Amino acid sequence: MSLDLSGRQYAHVDYDEKERLFDEVKGDLRYDEYLYGCYECGICVAACPSARFYDFSPRKIAQTMAREDVDLFYTLLNDSVWDCSQCFSCDVCPRKNSPGGLITLMREVAVKNGLASAQEALEGYGRVVYKIMATGTQVSPDMLQANAFPDWGPHVKDIAKNLEYWRKALPPESMNTTETSWQVDDKTIIELYLIWHMTGVMDMIKEVDEGLFMILQDVMEEKLEDAGYDVSFD
Amino acid sequence: MIPHSALFNKPKDRTFTPDPSQAPTEDYHDILDQLEKEGEWEVHRVPEPYIEVKNKFGRTKKVPVEQTWHHKSCGQCGHIPGYSTSVFWLNRKLGLDYNDPTDQTSCTAWNYYASATSNAPAQAAVAMRNFAAAHETGYFPIIHCATSFGHYKEVRQQLIHSPELRSQVRKILKKLGKKLIMPEEVVHYSEWVHVMRDRIAEHQVIPMDHIAATIHPACHYHKLVGEDAIYAPEVYGNQRSAIITSTLQSLGVDVRDYSTWFDCCGFGFRHILVSRDFSRSFAVQRKIEVMKEEADPDILITHDTGCVTTLDQSQFAAKAHDKNVGLPVMSDSQIAALAMGAHPYKVLQLHWHSTDSKPFLEKLGIDHEKAWAEFEQVVDEIKAGERQSVTWEEVDV
Ligand code: SF4
Ligand code: SF4
């Protein structure tokens, strides 16, 4: 799909609102390390995998931020940043920019502000977020189901069918698990929940996926209470 | 003036010699020490014995031999479990002391790079909690996943440059009863394989001199905070990261070059889970087909969770479109273990891979039918309740 850079699709959004989000990206402590101006040379584009398959350009990201083009920033924030592969091949930049890093910051702001485009980009992703936030390991053996990965081949069906036994047949005892990739101590999980609590990550989840927030809140608050912590994510 | 030698030396014969005094960055070792002196954190020193190698800018990096705390990878342990099993098997086979912790979480960076549902303090706190947990055991962290490796280097950079972030994370850790501990080096497991390659080759029982391979280096290993990556004059004249290639060369494998070596694998973090058409197309068109056409390898070896996953699992659907695919994919730990006689299914766990590695095993003279029957026997015994698991002793051939 081609990227409409005219800005017409966001003409109805107040300039002040666009600028507020722009300033939020600029205000991140990492921003000054990710952008030093832009030569507009396109070296990052040559290295970028997403640029080969989408109407997407890390140069446009760096250039737009360096020129402080608030309208174009808003278009890219909604219609471009989720195409990035976050590989950081663009760190090859001779100006020492990290367009991929700028994109991380832009995505964070999109999530934190509950932008509809961010919600759409994260549709179908809730299960992964649940896994990492609630269990301590991001992907797990029981995610390998034929209906989730039909394009990976028939072995996925075999894995799902034999999962419990094949996991027991792994010599490292820590990996005889199916719901997490390895066994994570209860104490470790509690520490992880406390980190989420102290850093406001749950507020971000609430903005993009209220349902997921409520499930996570139940799981975490109960476990924290059992461990003697009186913590609320509200 | 252009020196005469430049006209006669072929590019592949040229060696670049990095001069640390000309490095474009400050030496992170000095900054870590300085911040330790100022009481900002404690530096977790690499335990002896260690092996010294050179990083991208010619600075010295220490890689521990043993007493390693294995920061496992969720994608490896969950979906390609023979990857991590092989790392542990190598340690055991070489008689080295290691720790496989359960007081460890994922780095959470896969989710972060995919969904951005986190922030800098949370990411740094997760990293530093794991580092503190390692320090408490007395073992030194060694990172299995290249994304965790890259991400932890980013976190180190951010903590170095932001007193505000340091103080925020220090406070969080204090509430968890932990100190702020920064490892002297962020070490990737494939760097350990690299420094152990001669010892691995001494124990080699499966000759590999007739094998040709291509390699794929992980973006988050050598591009994201690229300074820490290991370079060596004997591998592409110090111009590309040395890991994997060095290991394969020690095993006698012919490592062949191809024109999209620098390209990413197409993993994309969110793409591999919810937009796989991109990952598949990129992996097949920019990597697998190019390798097959230009280098005709028997095997593709890489050193990261996302890269093994994408390059391996993307080939099945491409076959239906008559693409030039069918290249088995393994990690460097798996091929090193195989060379030392590890079981292809009980240790390498190749049945979790998508691509067919049987022709490769046959080329190595390994009876895969017998090996599979042995594995199935064990699984049948587990199913029948005759045994609970497979012990290390059984696979320590
Ligand atoms: S971000 Fe860097 S590489 Fe990309 S166009 Fe700008 S200066 Fe060139
Ligand atoms: S991080 Fe994103 S913008 Fe940079 S090279 Fe990778 S895909 Fe392109």
Q: What is the CATH number of the domain that holds B118?
A: 1.20.1050.140
The answer, yes or no, to whether residue B34 has pLDDT greater than 70, is yes
Q: Which ligand is nearest to the CA of A43?
A: 1
In chain A, positions 161-220, which contact chain B (CB-CB < 8 Å)?
162, 165-176, 180-185, 187-189, 191-192, 194-196, 198-201, 204-205, 208
Query: What pLDDT, on a 0 to 100 scale, did the predictor assign at position B5?
Result: 63
Instruction: Determine the average pLDDT of the residues in B45-73.
Output: 98
Q: Is the peptide bond before B183 cis (omega within 30 degrees of 0)?
A: no
Query: What pLDDT, on a 0 to 100 scale, did the predictor assign at position A8?
Result: 93
Q: Report CA-CA distances (Å) from A142 to A194, B226, B312, B383.
A: 26, 34, 19, 18
Q: Band of the pLDDT at B115, cuts 50, 70, 90?
A: confident
Asked if B139 and B249 sit in the same domain, the reply is: no
The answer, yes or no, to whether residue B9 has pLDDT greater than 70, is no
In a domain, B238, yes or no: yes
Q: Band of the pLDDT at B3, cuts 50, 70, 90?
A: low
Say if ligand 2 is within 6 A of residue A136 CB: no
In a domain, B194, yes or no: no
Q: How far is the CA of A37 from the centre of ligand 1 (A)?
A: 8
The whole-angstrom distance between B88's CA and the closest CA on chain A is 8
ipTM of the complex in this document: 0.94
Query: What pLDDT, on a 0 to 100 scale, did the predictor assign at position A126?
Result: 84
Asked if B241 and B164 sit in the same domain, the reply is: no
Q: Which ligand is nearest to the CA of A47?
A: 2
Asked if B168 and B254 sit in the same domain, the reply is: no
Say whether residue A25 is in contact with chain B using an 8 A CB cutoff: no
A51 half-sphere exposure, CB direction, 13 A CA radius? 20
Q: What is the CATH number of the domain that holds B325?
A: 3.40.50.11810
The answer to whether B392 and A170 have CB atoms below 8 angstroms apart is no
In a domain, B196, yes or no: no
Instruction: Determine the average pLDDT of the residues in B341-368.
Output: 98
CA gap A230, A69 in Å, rounded: 46
Asked if B82 and B229 sit in the same domain, the reply is: no
| B280-326 pLDDT, tens digit each | 999 999 999 999 999 999 999 999 999 999 999 999 999 989 999 99
Judge: A200–B119 Cβ closer than 8 Å, yes or no: yes
Asked if B264 and B363 sit in the same domain, the reply is: yes
CA gap B73, B337 in Å, rounded: 18
The answer, yes or no, to whether residue B2 has pLDDT greater than 80, is no
The fold of A14-113 is: Fumarate Reductase Iron-sulfur Protein; Chain B, domain 2 (1.10.1060)
**Tokens at A137, concatenated:** 């390991």
Query: What pLDDT, on a 0 to 100 scale, did the predictor assign at position A62?
Result: 98
In a domain, B388, yes or no: no
**What are the residue ranges spanned by the domains of chain A?**
14-113, 124-226
Query: What pLDDT, on a 0 to 100 scale, did the predictor assign at position B203?
Result: 98
Asked if B85 and B28 sit in the same domain, the reply is: yes
Burial of A29 (0-12, 13-18, 19+ CB in 10 A): middle
Mutating to test ligand 1, I would choose from A34, A35, A36, A43 the residue with most ligand atoms within 8 A of its C-beta, which is A43
A92 chain-B contacts, CB cut-off 8 A: 223
Instruction: Determine the average pLDDT of the residues in B143-148.
Output: 96
* Placement of tokens 């390991």 in the chain: A137
Query: What pLDDT, on a 0 to 100 scale, did the predictor assign at position B157?
Result: 95
B215: domain range?
Answer: 206-376
Q: What is the pTM of this model?
A: 0.95
Asked if B341 and B301 sit in the same domain, the reply is: yes
In a domain, B15, yes or no: no
CA gap B81, A170 in Å, rounded: 8
| B320-348 pLDDT, tens digit each | 899 999 999 999 999 999 999 999 999 99
Query: What pLDDT, on a 0 to 100 scale, did the predictor assign at position A66?
Result: 97
The answer, yes or no, to whether residue B164 has pLDDT greater than 70, is yes
Q: Report CA-CA distances (Å) from B230 to B15, B243, B312, B340.
A: 15, 7, 25, 24
Beta bridge partners of A226: none
B132 half-sphere exposure, CB direction, 13 A CA radius? 20
Instruction: Determine the average pLDDT of the residues in B202-220.
Output: 98
Query: Chain A residue closest to B130 (CA)?
Result: A188
Asked if B130 and B265 sit in the same domain, the reply is: no
Phi, psi of B241 (to 5 degrees): -60, 145
Asked if B282 and B358 sit in the same domain, the reply is: yes
Q: Band of the pLDDT at B274, cuts 50, 70, 90?
A: confident
The answer, yes or no, to whether residue B1 has pLDDT greater than 70, is no
Mean pLDDT estimate for chain B: 95
Asked if B29 and B170 sit in the same domain, the reply is: yes
The answer, yes or no, to whether residue B11 has pLDDT greater than 60, is no
Query: What pLDDT, on a 0 to 100 scale, did the predictor assign at position B12?
Result: 63
B263: amino acid identity, one letter: D
DSSP H or E stretch at residue B53:
strand B50-54
In a domain, B201, yes or no: no
Question: Of all residues in chain B, what percent carry a pLDDT higher than 70?
Answer: 96
The answer, yes or no, to whether residue B111 has pLDDT greater than 90, is no
The answer, yes or no, to whether residue B13 has pLDDT greater than 80, is no
Asked if B177 and B262 sit in the same domain, the reply is: no
Instruction: State the total domains in chain B.
Output: 2
Query: What pLDDT, on a 0 to 100 scale, did the predictor assign at position B109?
Result: 87
Average pLDDT per block of 10 residues along chain A, 234 residues long? 90 97 96 95 97 96 97 98 96 96 96 94 86 91 93 95 97 97 97 96 91 94 94 88
CA gap B302, B300 in Å, rounded: 7
Instruction: Determine the average pLDDT of the residues in B160-173.
Output: 97
